[in-house]
Chain A
Amino acid sequence: MAVAEPRAERGATAAPSPALIEVRGVHKLYTVGSQEVRALDGVDLDIRRGEYVAIMGASGSGKSTLMNLIGCLDTPTRGSYRLDGLAVERLRDEELARVRNRQIGFVFQTFHLLPRTTALANVELPLVYARMPRGERHELARKAIAEVGLSERSHHTPNELSGGQRQRVAIARALVNQPSILLADEPTGNLDSTTSDEIMELFDRLAAAGKTVILVTHEDDIAEHARRVIVMRDGKVISDRQQPGSRAARPTDGGAIEANAEPDPDDEAADAESVVGSGADEAEEVAAVEPAQGDSR
């Protein structure tokens, strides 16, 4: 299945840089009237391929600003950002669009689905801009929708879907182009706790399958899913720790299906690297099992 492919091939530019995401001394300033807001105030951050990261922090601490930067939607006032060895601030509009299209899947708190457009067409959108022929596009979009367990709803428009279903569509859209990075800014912020659990289960599976997942959250139990937790305050990273007791499934225990099982106390060994090595096999399993589960709601 598509999501499972870790991008082992890294291109010539990647040689000196082991990290997929390399943020160095990044500042982001906003001037509102006479006041200067330091949304990001010197952030250094490395995230490797296959990591499952949660970013936390108080409101206004700069989480979204950082996410937008990583997602190539925004540019820093100062500092540098390399994505897969590529200096993002030097890219032209078309190259930037291509990176957003191929490398990054973004999930927003407010879903941002196109109104009056079917779930399927929404999911297809990134493929349209990838200039993919119609037939192939339908095929991939259908698969992505099946993956989030929404096959039955693929011809519904957003206003005919529940919040959780909308977020699933948004996730399918983020995944459809097989990006290496999945970014989610408070993906469960507008959802109740049961629906949140279902969405998080999805992220866990993706992370288990080798996708680099970064999500922003306010809630500790959401952050618990991640392997690494970064805490921000006033535009700075104040804490960055690995989380041994992560609820995320370990690919090595074949546990994609058991992703939601009890946290495994012996999980220390599970780090990002081991995820990278995981193959497409598990993902196939995930996809095969998922639809029935997803539509039970």
Chain B
Amino acid sequence: MILLENLIIALSALRANLMRSLLTMLGVIIGVAAVIAVVSIVQGLQNVITQQFQSGGSNTITVVPFVQQGPSLVARQLKLTWEDGQAIRERVRGIEGITPLLVGQATAKYRENQHRPAQIFGVIEDYPEINNHVVERGRFLLRVDLELRRKVAVLGRTVVEQLELGSEAIGAEIYVGNVPVTVIGVMEERGTALGQDSDDLVFLPYDTAEQIFGRLAADRIFLQMKAESAEAVPEVRDGIERVLRERHGLGEDEENDFTIQVQDQLLETITSVIGSVTAVVAAVVGVALIVGGIGIMNIMLVSVTERTREIGLRKSVGATKRDVLLQFLIEAVVLSLVGGIIGTLLGWGIGALAAFLLPGDWPAAYVPWWAVAVAFGFCTLVGVVFGIYPAGKAAALDPIEALRYE
């Protein structure tokens, strides 16, 4: 009961000095808005990344024909072929599936419609299993398609739409470059992430793709494979390295001319980057909250002084020390919490706006409930920590001296 009463007193005191209260809350508002904005952006990003990696699976290994030089993957004229892949399949144990990924670019045509897919992949029948990406209609490539070098293709949804294949997609005769192929399947939708449309794809049998794109493309392919388990990954990784070094004739003192990417590691790297961003933000916010807290303490001290006679009066009609302490403590917490609420809304708005304004398909801002809970928790803490001294001062006032205060 007295709590509700105090809440009403606190809110009306806040309203009576609206401008002052707002300025006081500024520190808290900025701190909370900053944390919510950054968290909402980072969380949106992390959601997408995690989703993508999960769809890949944590025991997926990719070998790319690049080497890491400094901070980026720099292309050099390195060689990686499906023969390398086949050697790996034969000689490394613990691999469940492997597929080449011959990447090419060409225009697809269907009747009068033309479309240039983001990527055309030459793969083998293991691809869906390795990438957890399956067909929705029709079927994926079979071994027999590869062996017979059939001119068939599996399309992503975007391609189906662009070529206006509609429900007649399966069995349709389309052109990839100058080569006529028959559509045998449509892949399940994957959506867009980080500006990349995962449905703007065409899958061809590896040999067909090699025919279309030529030997040059086939000399610089990706190899995607799946280890039997996440635990087997390090061993498989070593096996791949051994086989490839041997096949590429690398000497003891020569660097790898390929890079083995393990998804776990990538995820870890990204997560740790996100973690350090979060830590920096947390530090900034911590400082902002302390500054905000000092502002609150300052204004509460002013408020206690201003209301000395009110305190004396309250005591003279029966308020205990505890009542007075609680009144000013609640006022400080309300000040801080209202700042927190404004800050949360502001931060959410900033995050949403930033996500909207950032180029490409930046993931939508997402404010996790824990961030709001933590923000409010910290605001309460700040209110209590920085309110206790002024409130204690108010509670300790002598009623008569307080009433006589000028």
Contacts and interface: CB of A to CB of B under 8 A. Distances in A.
B318 A97 contact: yes
Given A116-B12, A128-B5, A133-B1, A97 B315 contact: yes
Contact of B318 (A101, A108, A116, A134): A101
B319 A97 contact: yes
Given A116-B16, A131-B1, A133-B1, A73 B314 contact: no
Interface string B304-339: 000001101111111111110000000000000000
A125 B319 CA distance: 9
Interface in B15-42: 16
Interface string A89-102: 00001100110111
A93 B5 contact: no
B399 interface: yes
Interface in B270-318: 309-310, 312-318
Nearest to B313: A112
A164 B12 CA distance: 27
A93 B318 contact: no
Nearest to A134: B1
B1 to A, nearest CB: 6
B400 interface: yes
Given A73-B403, A128-B2, A173 B318 contact: no
B9 to A, nearest CB: 9
Contacts of A112: 309, 312-313, 316, 403
A68 B315 CA distance: 13
A126 B313 CA distance: 10
A114 B323 CA distance: 16
Interface residue SS majority, chain B: helix
Nearest to B318: A101
A125 B317 contact: yes
Centre residue among B16, B309, B318, B323 by max chain A CB count within 10 A:
B318
B314 A125 contact: yes
A100 B323 CA distance: 14
B12 A101 contact: no
Contacts of B314: 125, 129
A173 B316 CA distance: 11
A130 interface: yes
Contacts of A101: 317-318
A156 B183 CA distance: 83
B316 A73 contact: yes
B321 A93 contact: yes
A260 B335 CA distance: 52
A173 B317 contact: yes
Given A112-B309, A116-B12, A129 B319 contact: yes
Contacts of A108: 403
A108 B309 CA distance: 12
B19 to A, nearest CB: 16
Centre residue among A68, A94, A129, A130 by max chain B CB count within 10 A:
A129
Give the interface size bracket for B toward A.
20 to 34
Contacts of A106: 316-317
Centre residue among B2, B312, B317, B321 by max chain A CB count within 10 A:
B317
A129 B403 contact: no
Interface in A95-148: 97-98, 100-102, 106, 108, 112, 114, 116, 125-126, 128-131, 133-134
Contacts of A71: 316
A74 B16 CA distance: 32
Interface string A203-240: 00000000000000000000000000000000000000
Contacts of B16: 116
Nearest to A112: B313
Contacts of B322: 94
Interface in B250-272: none
Contact of A98 (B312, B315, B318, B400): B318
A130 B403 contact: no
A71 B313 CA distance: 12
A242 B16 CA distance: 50
Nearest to B4: A134
A98 B317 CA distance: 9
A125 B2 CA distance: 11
B320 A97 contact: yes
Contact of B317 (A74, A129, A134): A129
A104 B122 CA distance: 94
A83 to B, nearest CB: 14
B11 to A, nearest CB: 12
A150 to B, nearest CB: 18
A262 to B, nearest CB: 37
B268 to A, nearest CB: 58
Contacts of B315: 73, 97, 100
Interface string B53-89: 0000000000000000000000000000000000000
Interface in A142-201: 173, 177
B320 A94 contact: yes
28 contacts: A73-B315, A73-B316, A73-B400, A74-B399, A93-B320, A93-B321, A97-B318, A97-B319, A98-B318, A100-B315, A100-B317, A101-B318, A102-B318, A106-B316, A106-B317, A108-B403, A112-B403, A114-B313, A125-B314, A125-B317, A126-B318, A129-B2, A129-B317, A129-B318, A129-B320, A131-B1, A133-B1, A173-B317
The 7 nearest A-B residue pairs measured at CB = A101-B318, A129-B318, A97-B320, A126-B317, A112-B313, A73-B399, A74-B400
Interface of B: 1-2, 5, 12, 16, 309-310, 312-323, 399-400, 403
Given A93-B320, A97-B321, A125-B314, 12 more contacts: A73-B316, A73-B399, A97-B315, A97-B319, A100-B316, A112-B309, A114-B310, A116-B12, A126-B318, A128-B2, A133-B1, A134-B1
